[in-house]
Amino acid sequence: MLSNSLIELDRAHLVHPVASYRGHEAAGARVLASAKGAIVTDASGHHLVDGFAGLWCVNAGYGHESIVEAAARQMRQLPYATGYFSLASEPAIRLAAALAERAPGDLNHVYFTLGGSDAVDSTVRFIHYYWHARGQPQRDQFITLQQGYHGSSTVGAGLTALPAFHANFGVPLNWQHKIPSHYPYRNPVGSDPEAIIAASLAALQAKIAEVGGPERVAAFYAEPIQGSGGVLVPPDGWMKAMRERCRQYGILFVADEVITGFGRTGPLFACTDDDIVPDLMTVAKGLTSGYVPMGAVLMSDHVYGVIADGAGASAVGHGYTYSAHPVSAAVGLAVLDLYENGLLENGRRAGARLMAGLRALQDHPLVGEVRGRGLLAAIELVTDKEKKTPLPASAEPSRRIFDRAWANGLVIRAFPTGVLGYAPPLCCSEIEIDDIIERTARTLDQTL
Ligand code: PLP
């Protein structure tokens, strides 16, 4: 049983990420105590299906002994090795090689970070460096999508399009620009894929012209599926069309696969389904399945080569004490082994079942749209299906839905926009997927 003193200590001392501090103080923490597979248990002994894999990260599921063993073994043998001074550890080298082998195209060069935000930050630094090395330092403008999320570091928060991540933080915004998302359910041009792709290409072109032409633009960033913006799935062919257009303009294309990587949408990387090879790719979350922190930037031969040649004998001055941490890398290798020995396959089956189950809820009076790919899905709630009237824009209704789902034994993400997000672990059984659907239906009925 959870002692009141723990709740008090939390209130007094633990500052929570992306929370209303006063709201949190009033509500108190929900303390998770243990987890196994796809099930988490809170400190009062309440069991829940984790329909959100922590924060879309515990792709492998909880409690894998092989991961725990890999971390413990590495901690005993060599808990730390810097990558500075050309030092390295075996797991870091092996994980870099394994990612390069599996990533699309020639993304052969891997820079490890501590998570997604600093992976995005690193791309911004590498891209600036790249254009300086090519003698075009004026290419310093970045374009991203509205509803995009690219982390909450000072630089990455600028690429992020969610206002709460900028407002009052002094985030420099003058170098980055947004174009409308594809968002098929609410796109002003309608839901026709060709029309959406044409509109996005036109918006990109207009934005490039607005900032002074392609020779001012450093890079364009896109998530294969926009996660934190509300699980917005572009029409088939959208990523490829945008990638090709960037290539024509000589603009670097960055795929942010922090959520979509590692089986979340089916394959190891969503870019594979989109049939594209970006110039740079960011990953995190599923890379270590959340057991320990780690992210990475994957760079093409060309991007890496330009930076390397540009620096020559000088150091490329970008690094962290914990870049390529050997324990994280050992965990990454153990997780990769699980993905490739049944988990990806199970995830694809579970994803098909999840999508079919959620789609069966489409007739519910509150359900405006069900969307997703694989184990990344969302229900967009509306108060009027015909008019697509959104739920009142406030944290309160979504908070209540989250609470009801929790009481029903289900963890989901309830966005303030009235979108329910799903990203369960790839290890989910059929029964657990069916539980997610049944508990969602019950929660929606209680919300009517
Ligand atoms: N990029 C994307 C697409 C993300 O979804 C996230 C986090 O959700 C990030 C970057 C930032 O990752 P992190 O929270 O590990 O810093």
Q: How far is the CA of 295 from the centre of ligand 1 (A)?
A: 9
| Residue 413 β-bridge partners | 421
For 218-238, the pLDDT digits (tens) are 999 999 999 999 999 999 999
78 vs 158, which has greater pLDDT? Answer: 78
pLDDT (0 to 100) of residue 321: 97
From the CA atom positions of the chain, what is the Rg in Å?
22
Question: Is the pLDDT assigned to residue 395 strictly greater than 90?
Answer: no
Q: Which atom of ligand 1 is nearest to the CA of 295?
A: 15
Which of 52, 258, 259, 269, when mutated, tests ligand 1's pocket best, judged by the most ligand atoms within 8 Å of its CB? Answer: 258
Tell me which residue has its CA closest to atom 14 in ligand 1. 116
pLDDT (0 to 100) of residue 77: 98
Helix %, strand %, coil % of the chain (to 5): 45, 15, 40
pLDDT (0 to 100) of residue 172: 86
CA distance 412 to 421: 6
Q: Which atom of ligand 1 is nearest to the CA of 116?
A: 12
pLDDT (0 to 100) of residue 398: 87
CA quadruple 60, 62, 67, 71: dihedral sign = positive
Residue 329 near ligand 1, beta carbon < 6 Å: no
For the residues 288-307, what does the mean pLDDT come to? 98
Give the list of residues 6+ apart from residue 233 with CB closer than 8 angstroms, or none.
184, 225, 371, 372, 373
Q: Which atom of ligand 1 is nearest to the CA of 285?
A: 15
Question: Is the pLDDT assigned to residue 414 strictly greater than 70?
Answer: yes
For the residues 355-383, what does the mean pLDDT come to? 98
CA distance 90 to 98: 12
For the residues 154-170, what does the mean pLDDT come to? 90
Residue 339 near ligand 1, beta carbon < 6 Å: no
CA atoms within 13 A on the CB side of 41: 11
Question: Is the pLDDT assigned to residue 284 strictly greater than 80?
Answer: yes
Residue 227 near ligand 1, beta carbon < 6 Å: yes
Tell me which residue has its CA closest to atom 1 in ligand 1. 150
CA distance 296 to 282: 6
Which of 150, 297, 322, when mutated, tests ligand 1's pocket best, judged by the most ligand atoms within 8 Å of its CB? Answer: 150
Question: Is the pLDDT assigned to residue 341 strictly greater than 90?
Answer: yes
Kindly report the number of other CB atoms within 10 A of residue 397's CB atom. 17
For the residues 362-379, what does the mean pLDDT come to? 98
Q: For residues 102, 294, 379 and 388, what is the CA-based torsion angle, rounded to 10 degrees? A: -100
Torsion angles phi and psi, residue 70, rounded to 5: -60, -40
For 181-219, the pLDDT digits (tens) are 999 999 999 999 999 999 999 999 999 999 999 999 999
Residue 281 near ligand 1, beta carbon < 6 Å: no
Kindly report the number of other CB atoms within 10 A of residue 168's CB atom. 6
Average pLDDT, the chain: 96
Residue 284 near ligand 1, beta carbon < 6 Å: yes
DSSP string, 91-148: HHHHHHHHHHHHSSTT--EEEEESSHHHHHHHHHHHHHHHHHHTT-TT--EEEEETT-
The CA distances from residue 257 to 66, 154, 315, 345, 443, in Å, are: 25, 20, 28, 19, 30
CA distance 171 to 174: 9
The CA distances from residue 173 to 17, 81, 170, 181, in Å, are: 22, 36, 9, 18
Residue 288 near ligand 1, beta carbon < 6 Å: no
- Tokens 């031969």 appear where? 301
The CA distances from residue 27 to 11, 43, 223, 253, 446, in Å, are: 9, 16, 33, 42, 21
Which of 120, 124, 294, when mutated, tests ligand 1's pocket best, judged by the most ligand atoms within 8 Å of its CB? Answer: 120
Question: Is the pLDDT assigned to residue 448 strictly greater than 90?
Answer: no
For the residues 32-53, what does the mean pLDDT come to? 97
Residue 267 near ligand 1, beta carbon < 6 Å: no
Residue 116 near ligand 1, beta carbon < 6 Å: yes
Question: Is the pLDDT assigned to residue 4 strictly greater than 90?
Answer: no
The CA distances from residue 401 to 386, 411, 417, 418, in Å, are: 22, 10, 12, 9
pLDDT (0 to 100) of residue 2: 57
For the residues 41-51, what does the mean pLDDT come to? 97
Q: How far is the CA of 120 from the centre of ligand 1 (A)?
A: 8
Of the candidates 121, 107, 30, the one whose C-alpha atom is nearest the C-alpha of residue 405 is 30
Give the list of residues 6+ apart from residue 396 with CB closer than 8 angstroms, or none.
none
Q: Which atom of ligand 1 is nearest to the CA of 257?
A: 3
pLDDT (0 to 100) of residue 393: 73
Question: Where do the DSSP E strands lie in 189-273?
Answer: 217-222, 252-256
Of the candidates 131, 88, 100, 91, the one whose C-alpha atom is nearest the C-alpha of residue 218 is 131
Would you give the distance in Å from CA 250 to the centre of its chain?
Answer: 26
pLDDT (0 to 100) of residue 394: 73
| Structure tokens given for 442 | 């019950």
Residue 117 near ligand 1, beta carbon < 6 Å: yes
For the residues 156-167, what does the mean pLDDT come to? 90
| Residue 232 β-bridge partners | 226
Q: Cα angle at 428 between 423 and 432, to 5 degrees? A: 95
Q: Which domains does the chain have, with CATH numbers?
A: 4-63+342-447 (3.90.1150.10), 66-338 (3.40.640.10)
CA distance 433 to 246: 39
Question: Is the pLDDT assigned to residue 167 strictly greater than 90?
Answer: no
